Structure 1
């Protein structure tokens, strides 16, 4: 089978294997021990991997397959890649690979560019509907009377703003940045470094690296936008301004420029009625309202499609009734629908639960919280609530080992024996709450974070996180004390 693939087909085959196993670029990169940006470039066909790298990533994908929940057949033309053999399935692509990796080495600028490919993939994998929102945005971008400026997409948490912007990025391949409070990606510094580096790389601007002052204010960003706009229209997409750090008095959120050069547009999103610091010369707003008939129609179509493909897992349900109930109880919120459909398909909810489904996303969180607590109140108090609430306090994704340390500190603060807290017990909580968490990386370095800011809001406002912040601080101080003690001379 050697030589079956040509260079132009190599990326297609790699993507087929990746999609077959339901993997992400981040998982492949971590398992293969290579840079995630390199993996993305290889799978997009921008660079050709050398034989050594090809062997690493294909074997990594096959290795990860044991943990993947695959229900899709591998296309016939790629089925032989799963054959066992003396050299492994990567052999089929050997002659399509180069002797060495092609493409220039990663420049200093690449170190500033954040990888959001996994997020974009996840949000656009089954993208449907939302034509009315995208048409409104595209209409503004193509309006000759709107030569430059900001398009602001507004809507409540969970209504689908991030998904809309991810689809816009997928279609345009534009410069982009996501503010994610649960990952600690919310500073002006992170935004400016990421977007400035992307602008230089994408538009071939004459800068080898970012100057030290690039992330100090919006001056260098404005300069780059002007340089790029001389030759090309420029589109920059920025998600979740409401999750960004509070701006200094008198400045825009993330130091966004008040005036944009002709041909430059920003599309940004924020919560509805959020106190947004965005004082700009030209701005258009797109409102994604929960009671908009077009939004309700999108939710109806989405629920109907999921139920249509639910197979035997919907035995005992009346699909027509289920669609009506979900659409009504969702109050126009896509996140609500996502959680309920997942619980139905997983068997957590039964047909008898349909008539008692809560109204709206916040009530759904409250109902699920109470349901989990009712199963074993003592275990919930000592393990589940601390684990989830401590994850909600984290400013970035953290390992199970770190969470275990925090839970022990929480136990000590409550007069409980912290030595009873074991990491496997924390991981069991993570497994039980997996639909509310995101995972990054793999193996011992797997890191966890709260999936969505709306759930973090619920925990902060209704459960309370003050005591858990104290436990995190106490754990950090204890580490400092140990370090100082061990560093003293005997």
Structure 2
């Protein structure tokens, strides 16, 4: 199993809440690769005396596993997961962080971090890892404030390691004036391909034919792949891989219960069931066109197909940014859903006229 470079010794010694420990354990199991990410994190911390390092990736691209592995290899790092129930509000985040470092004497997150920074030795680092920043609910925060009230400026020796899905810059929810780096996993297709191959080989006894087949179906998506290997059907078949390749090929095209539930969450976020009927109908018509295209499609083409204003279509697509892959063709942005199995799932949810 590959390991990450270790940063200089941090000052904090956290005690993770039980629910965080469970996530870290689950997400870091059978972990392979991602050395290019860990190297980038290490270099950033070495190069900058403070800052934000953000990992961006589509749903299922392995962001949570990367963070869990990093924390496992660097157990002094504080950890928080905003995707867990009840963990997506600023008050809970600040309470958890202060509890992990065992302090109550502070007036704000910034003052807390300043206290820690003042106690750091020259080479010590204080690192807080936050998974799923896109899940943060900031409706009860002060208007214009950063997500989780993350500081605009950071004191010396303080770092945040963040993960989030793709987003528009104007919807980042962060205004920072301190060193930062963004690593988009989509910008490393070859590394992702090699890592997903290594991950699959663990399960198929290095059967290269099956590895190649499953790698192609995975589209470099770890959630899709891990959900398949976790399902009961695979566990029944795994002892006879060489004899049942056709059966596995057929089985992998079916959604596992976990993956179907995961996609259902996406669908409800794209078209909330409790939203006004007119809004649902318009979004459904946009989605209807999007799922019918086998490749990419422009907002102009969607608008023309459903006889709608292109601006209104673009607004919907912008709100769906985390679930879409963007490609520029002849100066125009084209869209597609982030995984073909998600597209297949959505095609069954939308009522085609």
TM-score normalised per structure 2: 0.62
1:34-113 matches, cutoff 5 A: none
- Which of 77, 80, 90 is matched with 1:177 structurally? 80
Give the 3 Å change call, closer, same or farther, for CA 280–123 of structure 1 in structure 2. same
Structure 2 residue 109 is matched with structure 1 residue 218: yes
**Aligned equivalents of 2:112, 2:50: Cα separation in 1:** 15
Answer whether contact 1:291 1:331 (CA < 8 A) is retained: no
Match of 2:174 in 1: 278
1:240-279 equivalences under 5 Å are: 240-246=132-138, 248-273=142-167, 275-279=171-175
Q: 1:327 aligns with which of 215, 222, 246?
A: 215
1:457 aligns with 2:353: no
CA distance in 2, matches of 1:186, 1:149: 22
Unaligned runs of 5+ in 2: 1-12, 239-243, 276-353
Q: Which has the higher contact order (CA 8 A, sep 6+)?
A: 2
Do the aligned residues in 2 keep the contact of 1:113 with 1:197 (CA within 8 Å)? no
Q: Specify the alignment match of 1:42 in structure 2.
A: none
Contact preservation (8 Å) 1:241, 1:276: no
Within-5 A mapping of 1:93-242: 115-143=19-47, 146-173=48-75, 174-181=77-84, 183-199=85-101, 201=102, 207=103, 209=104, 218-229=109-120, 232-242=124-134
Contact (CA 8 Å) 2:128, 2:159: kept in 1 or not? yes
Is the 8 Å Cα contact of residues 196 and 215 (structure 2) preserved in structure 1?
A: yes
CA distance in 1, matches of 2:20, 2:44: 25
CA deviation after TM superposition for structure 1 residue 135, in Å: 1.0
Question: CA RMSD, aligned part only?
Answer: 3.3
Check conservation: 2:30, 2:199, Cα contact below 8 A: no
In structure 2, relative to structure 1, the CA distance for the partners of 1:219 and 1:225 (3 Å cut) is same
**SS of equivalent residue, structure 1 residue 180:** coil
Task: Give the distance between the partners of 2:131 and 2:147, measured in 1 at CA.
Answer: 12
Give the match for residue 345 of structure 1.
234
On the 8 A contact 2:56/2:166 being kept in 1, the answer is: yes
User: Structure 1 residues 193, 127: CA separation in 2 closer, same or farther (over 3 Å shift)?
Assistant: same
Distance verdict in 2 for CA 1:210–1:190, change over 3 Å:
farther
Q: 1:117 and 1:252 mapped to 2: Cα distance?
A: 27
In structure 1, the gaps of 5 or more residues are 1-45, 47-108, 202-206, 310-318, 359-363, 370-432, 438-449, 468-490
Question: How far apart, CA to CA, are the structure 2 residues paired with 1:132 and 1:152?
Answer: 14
1:315-365 residue CA offsets vs partner (Å, 9 max, x unmatched): xxxx3332112111211100111122334523489644555678xxxxx6x
Partner of 1:294: 191
Conserved? CA contact 1:290–1:333, under 8 Å: no
Per-residue CA deviation, residues 353-399 of structure 1 (Å, 9 max, x unaligned), is: 555678xxxxx6xx538xxxxxxxxxxxxxxxxxxxxxxxxxxxxxx
Structure 1, 335-344 or 294-303: larger mean CA deviation: 335-344
Structure 2 CA distance for partners of 1:456 and 1:140, relative to 1, 3 Å: same
Residues 172/330 of structure 1: CA separation in 2 closer, same or farther (3 Å cut): same
- Match of 1:152, SS state, is strand
1:235 partner SS: strand
More helix by share: 1
Alpha-carbon distance in 1 for matches of 2:228, 2:19: 30
